[in-house]
């Protein structure tokens, strides 16, 4: 099976809500928050589609100068197949195309696979945000990718 990247649309919301809950549990965004993100100003959301099934998603917010990865997730049964990396690279390309000079994100300090992915794509750790992820009280690394290089 192969997958492709495409823009997310409102019809993807049920699958997006399902994946968000499976991946993030109690910390998952609400259906309303996800719906608002899909249509919010400065937002770009992508999905990874495998034979009509949403297997991954990622979102970007551009404020006119810098961009922020809002979320990224891959179905657990399809992780370690390059889906997350492809989504991240496309977000960076979209941010560059919009004129962003930097791309920021936060990631759980205990999410070693994600931290490795981000560092392998050129992100650097800037600092630690204490108790960023609620309700678990887990810290986050703030990371940045320079887009002008």
- pLDDT tens digits along 41-93: 999 999 999 999 999 999 999 999 999 999 999 999 988 899 999 999 999 99
**34 has a pLDDT exceeding 60:** yes
Q: What pLDDT band is residue 135 in, cutting at 50, 70 and 90? A: confident
Average pLDDT over the chain reads 93
Res. 149 pLDDT band, cuts 50 70 90:
low
Residue 131 zone, left/alpha/beta (φ > 0; ψ -120 to 50; rest)? left
Assigned CATH class of 4-146: alpha beta
CB count, 10 Å around CB of 128? 12
Average pLDDT of the residues in 5-11: 96
Domain ranges of the chain: 4-146
What pTM was computed for the model? 0.92
Q: Does the pLDDT value for residue 1 go beyond 60?
A: no
How many other CB atoms sit within 10 Å of the CB of residue 122? 14
Alpha-carbon torsion 125, 101, 36, 48, what sign?
negative
């Amino acid at each position: 099976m192969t997958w492709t990247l495409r823009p997310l649309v409102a019809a993807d919301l049920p699958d997006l809500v399902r994946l968000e809950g499976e991946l993030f549990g109690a910390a998952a965004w609400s259906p309303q928050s996800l719906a608002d993100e899909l249509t919010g100003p400065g937002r770009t959301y992508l999905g990874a589609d495998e034979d009509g099934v949403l297997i991954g998603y990622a979102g970007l917010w551009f404020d006119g100068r810098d961009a922020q990865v809002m979320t990224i997730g891959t179905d657990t049964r399809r992780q370690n197949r390059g889906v997350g990396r492809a989504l991240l690279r496309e977000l960076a390309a979209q941010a560059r195309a919009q004129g962003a000079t930097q791309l920021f994100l936060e990631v759980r300090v205990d999410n070693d696979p994600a931290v490795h992915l981000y560092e392998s794509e050129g992100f650097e750790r800037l600092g630690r945000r204490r108790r960023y992820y609620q309700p678990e009280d887990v810290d986050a690394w703030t990371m940045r990718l320079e887009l002008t290089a």
